[in-house]
Amino acid sequence: MTETQDAPVRGDSATLPAIELAGVVKEYRSHGETVPAVRGLDLAIGEGEFFSLLGPSGCGKTTTMRMIAGFEEPTAGAVFLRGKDVTAVPAHRRDVNMVFQSYALFPHMSVFENVAFGLRRKGVERSEITRRVGEMLEIVDLTGREKRRPREMSGGQQQRVALARALVNRPRALLLDEPLGALDLKLRQHMQVELKRIQREVGVTFVYVTHDQGEALTMSDRIAVMNDGRIEQLGSPREIYERPASRFVAGFIGTSNLLSGEIGEVDGDRAVIAYGDGERIVVPLPEGSAVSAGERVELTVRPEKIEIGVEPPAGNGSAIRGTVGEVVYLGTSTNYNVVTSAGADVVVFTQNATSAEDVAVRGDSVWLSWHPRYSYLIGPAS
Ligand SMILES: Nc1ncnc2c1ncn2[C@@H]1O[C@H](COP(=O)(O)OP(=O)(O)OP(=O)(O)O)[C@@H](O)[C@H]1O
């Protein structure tokens, strides 16, 4: 695929994002009705970034990807590749390649021929084709399999052929739509690590669509969490996991505990929530937050941040009481399900690093405690 030369460029191309969406809206027409798929996206993806669009089925990930590729035209807004407005440029003239879950390899061609296909079509010289295909097969760890047919290879190997076939054209960006969806769990986890390595080696911008939060956390530099055609949160895996910005993100990424209570007192950059019967939860207040005493709020805390014990904890962090329900021993960790004094279900993960003994058993009264920095206010209680 060739880069468009005729589109206007905005700004200095060295500092421009690889991909930019500005006010992008997509509505489909189906049986006389309008289906809103993307409701106004503003997004900039950096050069060489591994960027994931993550969200549940139907949230608009594939539509967004297809608009970047040029397979769908936005209803409103613009798509830029390296500062060039490509909104009206057809897919084959955009400098991006796409890899699908179904691989779409040519079954009658060898691995070598599959990878060489695009270069041959472009009329690249034979010795150059041999060199570039060889180099690519080495990167995807398939040297020596040149003569095989796709059906003689495993799913993971076929996916790597598809990757090599897309990357050999040296696209500016590679768009991957659930590329590991057809693989079993173990192979998928192996391929996640492989994909990240390959991306680092070739330095190409990857845009990755997935509904699997573990996959997005493992590979991405940044993740856009999408819900109902909008971006709910955009940030590094750590930011999104540690500081979910909404109830949706907290629930979608990993396991998270939702608690609610009434603000008792606001003390500078933190608030103390009165909980249950004289217990407390301390929450840091985000800058500019305007909560006041008496307001009911909702907050989240991750299971691995909570300590569980039978004695009241020392210190002045969050400390609430509960009763232990199910205790699940998982080898490296134990999960405790606890019902708090205010009736909320809380999950606690403890690492079994030093002790083989469970801290508490079903029916025990326990204290749950955590440092103030691990509570995140996510809005008014519903
Ligand atoms: N060609 C189409 N015609 C009408 N509606 C469509 C079309 N393609 C997608 N949609 C609708 O647009 C919305 C977004 O679809 P999209 O495929 O982008 O979601 P997704 O997040 O990629 O989902 P999945 O993970 O299931 O692939 C959905 O409501 C879907 O039903």
Say which residue the tokens 């500005």 belong to: 22
Q: Region 243-255: what's the mean pLDDT? A: 89
**What is the position in ligand 1's atom list of the atom closest to the CA of 64?**
18
Question: Domains of the chain, with CATH numbers?
Answer: 13-95+171-249 (3.40.50.300), 255-380 (2.40.50.140)
Report how far residue 117's alpha carbon sits from residue 217's, in angstroms, rounded to the nearest whole number. 33
The pLDDT score that the predictor gives to residue 9 is 53
Cβ-contact 178, 101 below 8 angstroms: yes
Min mean pLDDT across 23-37, 143-157, 183-197 is at 183-197
What distance in Å separates the CA atoms of residue 372 and residue 316, rounded to the nearest whole number?
9
Residue 36 Cα to ligand 1 midpoint, Å, equals 9
Q: For residue 52, what are the contacts with CB-CB under 8 A and spacing of at least 6? A: 207, 208, 209, 210, 215, 216, 219, 220, 222, 223, 224
- Smallest CA separation from ligand 1 atom 11, residue: 37
Best residue among 21, 25, 28 to mutate for probing ligand 1, ranked by most atoms within 8 Å of CB: 28
What is the model's pTM?
A: 0.85
Share of the chain above pLDDT 70, in %: 95
One-letter amino acid of 333: S
Q: pLDDT by residue (tens digit) across 303-325?
A: 999 999 999 998 889 999 999 99
User: What per-residue confidence (pLDDT) applies to 5?
Assistant: 42
Output the pLDDT for position 288: 78
DSSP 187-216: HHHHHHHHHHHHHHHH--EEEEEES-HHHH
Confidence grade of residue 44 (pLDDT, cut at 50, 70, 90): very high
